[in-house]
Every structure is written in structure tokens, then in C-alpha cells.
Amino acid sequence: MNKSVDFSQPQRQSLPGILVMFANSLQKTVRALWPMLLIWLVKFDTLNKLVFFGSVAGVVVLIGIISYLQYLFFTFHIDEENGEFVIQKGVLNKTRITIQLHKIQQVNINQSLIQRLVGVHKLEIDTAGSDKKEASISAISHELATILKERLINHSQSELTENAEKNVEEITPTSFIKIGLPSLIKIGFTSNYIKSFALIFLFFTTIVENLQQLNAEVIDEDQVTNYLDTLPIYTSIFIVIGFFITLILLVNLVRTILKYFDFTIQKSKQAIILSYGLLSTKNTLLNPNKVQKIKVTQNYFQKKLDVTTIGIHQASSDAEKVKEKDQIEVPGCAEIERDAILKLLLGQLPQKGTMYLPNWRKLAVNTFFFLLVPIAITLFLNHKTEFVTWNDWFMYTAIFSVFAGVMLWFSFKNYKLFVSNDFIIKQNGAWDIDTTIIEPYKIQAIETQQFFWQKATNIGSVTLSTAGGTVSFTTGNYTEIKQLVNYWLYEVETWEKNWM
Amino acid sequence: MNEFTNNPIDINQLPKFEEVQLKGLHPKYVTVLLFNFSLLLILVIVGFSTLFYFNQDAFSNAIWMTILVGLVLILAGLVLFTKFSFHKKGYAFREHDAIYKSGLISETTTIIPFNRVQHVALHQGFISRKLGLASIELFTAGGSSSDLEIPGLLLADAQIIKNLVSQKINPPKQDEPIQIASTETPLTEEHE
């Protein structure tokens, strides 16, 4: 690698970057003008062809010139003296963005489809401050991007941990974990059903709506209904359900593979680099110190197939709307890989320690709200409107009761809290079982809560806030909870370790 | 790591947050609470009165009476609720953390260790300023759910607390004598 790149001199982006800017500007223009374009297209025959193509060509040329000027005026460099990274840009309105090197938290290298076609990358700099003034370089060669990233990160790291061990390890990042296609296929088949279902539902409703508006008879509804009517009722139900299940699985699979293709985790010096994506490659840098909360999710199928999903929640500068990139997901790790990742992030494998269980009243309360109340509501509504026959109502209610009962029972059975010296682990979920892991010294605030009617039975809840989200344990033994709170406070207040 | 010890900790020997004697809020704070409620109530009453004045036929007389009785009941309920919930509110500052307890129906205790506090703010609303009260808000990195606001403090107390917490967050250097900052702080600080 060419390490002698001089970043102290203002640099331009790589030349093919003009194309990227051109495409971006074009996209913006089309997006801004699309109603006009649509009208033009509809009235295409009546338009003067010369004027039409002339104006289109004019706009394109204009955008081209603007893109070139943007390219010309966009420079970046590292100001070693002041320890700043400087970006200057703007054709008419000059903008100068300076970022203090020690404030840089993350440097991401991403690649969109256009950038991939042209062969350039996008470099984004994430600072601890407001997210508005984030700096990005939209076209830079991969080689240059990696060198710049190293340079920026090293600066911020070396200032942060001056007295920490300075043993410079291998410069080339060592490949650590690679998630192959089989794991992704397994995950694609076993997770996110609800998300995909919602997507498909949205997609279909939009299409149907549009079709109705256009009065197009692409699919003859009657024909489909007639065909289904000729079949026995159960067969037709099976066909419809089967169709949807296949569709959901397919969408799931495609989404997972597109998003996470070639998922690689690399370890370099103090940071962890994640890169993934088929059409647009994402490259994220992860700092183990910034990790606040880890969530391991696995359901029954995934357990059998030995795959899990790990969600990593980092401290976010704006906890109100947690930024997408502060929540990283590692899909489809096998058990060994999961342990390796946990070890990498936490320094050791989390031990479960003492187990705490919720009171049986949790099951009772949940049963009341999620089983009895819905049944009562449908009973009342059906009594008023006679929407379905009572036989049907009994059948549906029975199915619902069994389903909800099983879910409630498992969600109660899986609800556990494990506390050891170094970890707090909470497990919950009926089908997808989430295991949330936090370290006590990363707690920001503790809240205990008790309803007045819970005093007699000595039940209460606790919520632990971290900079990456909260963890709460409800309907537990309040004496035990108070004891735990005292212990956690002791840990937070005596440990010298910095939470970030 | 120097002098590494790893003695077992007896959880029962740890200081207990639930046994800390909490300090109640200033009695004048009830006025602030009631004022806030009455603002809302006045709006509702004005709304109904105008309706009654301009369009008496909107509801039958019985319903008008019910509305009146309902309003009176709500008012009484709110006053009672405010009074009782006021007595449930309390705060305490320990060596290493701040505790605030509140809630009549659901009793909530929030505890924030000082070494997790990012910054402190002192707020004064319109009514609070007239009554010489202020509130203190402790911000952490855990987002709004883990911020702690202690209302109904005397302004002087609030300033002392603010300085205390500020000192806990940024401990003054050892060689510098610790100033008694509370008396020094100009009164311009609380306009927020």
C-alpha cells in the first residue's frame, strides 16, 4: 500500500467522482421536476420535439457543468498543526468544514450502486457532536479511502488512549469472521417474518390501489375467485396461505442476501471493521468501547440450524432517535462465531450468574390483557353486531386462545434475568428469544417502579438505562430488585472503568 | 492495576438506597402544580361556558348539569391528587448519586450516579420565579428516559445543589483551594 500519500495538501476527489456527482444531481433534479416530466410524457405527442429534447439536453449539460465545478471546488486535507480535518466545498457558496481529529468517532466507507459502477467509494466521518454537520467525501478510491481512514482513526485513537498500551500490531487488518452464503440463507428462511409480511402487504395494497385507479384489468379478480371456488375450501385456503408463505420466505431471503452478502468482520488495532452488502457495500467501523448493549436473538428453527443474529447497540449522540448506523446487526453466526464476537466486544464470554425469575402474577396479568380482554372485546362486539355466527366465534376464539396461551406461557417461561459480577443478562421472548447483555459499569441511570397494589405482594420492576438503550425486568421480587440496585450502584460508583 | 484485591462483597452490607431519608419538596411547589392544572381546567371551563352561552340547546339540561358536576368532581379530584402526590415526591443526594422518588399510583425511584452525569441545568418557570423556586435537571448519556428532574427547590438550595453536582462531575484540582462557589455565583445564571 502506498503509505506516503500527503494529506496535508488539499486533495480533490478521484476523477470518476464527477460521474457520481452528476448522477446524484440528476437524480435530485428528476425528483424535483417529476410532476412536470410526467405531464410532458403524457402530452408527448403534442409537444414540440425540438424544444423538448433541447431543454432536456440543456438541463443535462447544465448539471454536468455544475458537477464538474463541484468536483473542482471540493478539496479535503488534514491540518496537522491544528489537528483538524478540513473539507472545503461549494461553487458559489463556499463552505469550510473542520473536524477536530480527536472528536472523530467513526469513519465509514460505503459504496452505492453508482459508486460501485464507477469504482469509487464514499467516506463518511461521524463525530461525537451533532449529526447535522457530518462530513462526507462522496468519491474517493478505495486505496486512498483506507489510508485516510487509518490516518483519521489513528489520530483520534492515539489522543484518546495516550497511556494505554501502544503496541502497534499488524497494520493489515486480520480477517476474523466471514459469514458465508449458507448462514445467510438459513437466517433468511427463519427470521423477520413479520417485517417481510408488512412489506409485502404494503406492496400489494399499493399495487391494487393503483390498478383500481387505472381501471386496468391485468388480473381478473373474478377469475381468481372462480378458480378458487372450484376447489374444496381447505385446498384453496392452503393455496393462499402457501402462496404467501413462499412469498414471505423469498422476500426474506432476497432481502437478507442483498443486505448482508459477504459479511466480513475484521480486527485492526483497536477497532473492528464490518463490511457487507451485495449492491451497495457498507463498511462500518466499530469501537468496542462504544458498544453499550448487545442483543443475541435466536428462535427454535435457528437453534436447530445453529445460527443466531447479534444486534450491537452503540452509544448514540442522540438517544431520542437512535441512528441506524449505531445499531449494527451481525446475521447468521454459528455458536463458535457468536462466542468469538462476544469475546471480541466484551473481552470475555459473559457468564450468566444468579438467575432471577418473575412472579407468577406476570403470567396472570399478561393473560388478562392479551387473552381475556381481547376475547371479551370480540364477545361484546359480536353480541352487538352478529358479525360472525356464534359457532364461528367459538372456533376462532379457541384457535386464538390456544395460540395466545402458548405464546404467553413461553414468553413467561423465557423471561429471566441473570446477574453476575461483570454482566447483566436478560432473556425474553416467546418465539424469537432475545438475550440482552449489558455490563454494569455502562449503566447511566437506574429506575425502580412499583404500583401501590404491588406493595402487599412485594413485586416491582427495574429499568436500567444505558447510552445504547434500556433493559428492564418487571414483576420481580422487589426485595431482590432493591438489593440488585444497591449492588449495581456500588459497581457503577466504584469502578474506575470509563463507560465509553 | 495496583494493589489488586478481590474480596467477596456482602450485598447486605452495601448502602441501601431505599433506606435513605428523602427530603420533601418545598410546600410552595403545590401552588405551581395547582396553577398548571388550573390553566388547563380554565381552558376547558371557558370552552364549555362559551358553548353554553351561544348554544344552550347543544345539550339537554340534564347533560349540562352532568358536565357541571363532572367538572367540579374533576377539579376536586385533581386537587386531592396533587396534594397527595406532592407528599410522595422526595429527593436525596448521597455521596455518589442523586435519588428522586415520585408517584402516587406507581411509585418510581430514579437514581443517577454522579459519575454518569453529563451536565446540570437549573430551570425556573414563570410561577416558580415569582415564588422563588427552581428545578434542577441532571442529564446523562442515556437519553431523555434517564434524565432526572427535581422540581420545587428553593432557588438558593437549587444553586447549591447545582454547584455540588458540577463539582462532582468536574472535581477541582487538588492544589487549588476549593471555593465556596454558591455564594459567588451571580444571580444571572438561572435565566433559562
Q: Convert the pLDDT of each residue in B50-101 to its tens digit.
A: 888 887 777 778 888 888 898 889 888 888 888 898 999 999 998 889 999 9
Q: In chain B, what residues touch A489 (CB-CB under 8 Å)?
A: 14, 17, 96-97, 111, 113
Q: In chain B, what residues touch A500 (CB-CB under 8 Å)?
A: 141
**Domain stops at, among A396, A413, A430:** A413
- Label residue A325 by pLDDT band (50, 70, 90): low
Nearest CB among B16, B104, B110 relative to A486 is that of: B16
- Kindly state whether residues A29 and A124 are assigned to the same domain: yes
pLDDT (tens digit per residue) in A469-499 = 889 999 999 999 999 999 999 988 888 788 7
Q: Quote the CA–CA distance of B77 and B70 in Å, as a whole number.
A: 10
Structural domain span for residue A378 = 360-413
Q: Is residue A78 part of a domain?
A: yes
Torsion angles phi and psi, residue A408, rounded to 5? -65, -45
Number of compact structural domains in chain A: 3
Q: Is residue A339 part of a domain?
A: no
Say if the Cβ atoms of B113 and A483 lie within 8 Å: no
Q: Quote the CA–CA distance of A371 and A378 in Å, as a whole number.
A: 11
Q: Quote the CA–CA distance of A202 and A394 in Å, as a whole number.
A: 31
Q: Is residue A437 part of a domain?
A: no
**Can you give the CATH number for the domain in which A160 is found?**
2.30.29.30
Say if the Cβ atoms of A485 and B111 lie within 8 Å: yes
- Kindly state whether residues A148 and A37 are assigned to the same domain: yes
Q: Is residue A472 part of a domain?
A: no
**Domain stops at, among A395, A413, A431:** A413
Nearest 5°: the CA angle A8, A12, A13 is 120
pLDDT (tens digit per residue) in A125-157 = 876 554 444 678 888 888 888 888 888 777 665
Nearest CB among B16, B103, B142 relative to A467 is that of: B142
Percent of chain A with pLDDT over 90: 21
Nearest CB among B14, B112, B115 relative to A486 is that of: B14
Q: In chain B, what residues touch A448 (CB-CB under 8 Å)?
A: 108-109, 111
pLDDT at A367 over 90: yes
Q: Is residue A44 part of a domain?
A: yes
Count of CB atoms situated within 10 Å of the CB of A110: 20
CA distance A237 to chain B (A): 46
Q: Is residue A406 part of a domain?
A: yes
Give me the torsion for CA of A266, A269, A271, A273, rounded to 10°: -20
Q: Which three cell numbers stand for residue A125?
A: 466521518
Say if the Cβ atoms of A447 and B17 lie within 8 Å: no
Task: Mean pLDDT check: name the lowest of A56-70, A277-291, B170-184.
Answer: B170-184
- Kindly state whether residues A161 and A190 are assigned to the same domain: no
The answer to whether B169 touches B116, Cβ cutoff 8 Å, is no
- Kindly state whether residues A27 and A133 are assigned to the same domain: yes
pLDDT (tens digit per residue) in B7-17 = 777 777 888 88
Q: CB contacts < 8 Å between A and B, how many?
A: 99
- Kindly state whether residues A60 and A142 are assigned to the same domain: yes
Average pLDDT, chain A: 81
- Kindly state whether residues A155 and A193 are assigned to the same domain: no
- Kindly state whether residues A74 and A155 are assigned to the same domain: yes
**B-interface mutation test, from A317, A326, A446, most B Cβ less than 10 A away:** A446
- Label residue B173 by pLDDT band (50, 70, 90): low
What pLDDT, on the 0 to 100 scale, is given for residue A22? 85
pLDDT at A71 over 60: yes
CA distance B174 to chain A (A): 18
With CA atoms as reference, the chain A residue closest to B10 would be: A487
Q: Which three cell numbers stand for residue A440?
A: 454494569
Q: Which three cell numbers stand for residue B30?
A: 403545590
CA distance B83 to chain A (A): 17
Q: Quote the CA–CA distance of A5 and A302 in Å, as a whole number.
A: 47
- Kindly state whether residues A24 and A106 are assigned to the same domain: yes
**Domain stops at, among A204, A231, A260:** A260
Q: Is residue A459 part of a domain?
A: no
- Kindly state whether residues A120 and A47 are assigned to the same domain: yes
Q: In chain B, what residues touch A443 (CB-CB under 8 Å)?
A: 113, 116
CA distance A42 to chain B (A): 51
Percent of chain A with pLDDT over 70: 86
ipTM of the complex: 0.81
Q: Quote the CA–CA distance of B32 and B133 in Å, as a whole number.
A: 9
Say if the Cβ atoms of B111 and A489 lie within 8 Å: yes
Q: What are the helix (H) ranges across A368-468? A: 373-385, 390-413
CA distance A421 to chain B (A): 10
pLDDT (tens digit per residue) in A374-414 = 999 988 988 888 777 888 888 889 999 999 999 999 999 99
- Kindly state whether residues A24 and A154 are assigned to the same domain: yes
- Kindly state whether residues A231 and A145 are assigned to the same domain: no
- Kindly state whether residues A129 and A251 are assigned to the same domain: no
Q: Quote the CA–CA distance of A30 and A35 in Å, as a whole number.
A: 9
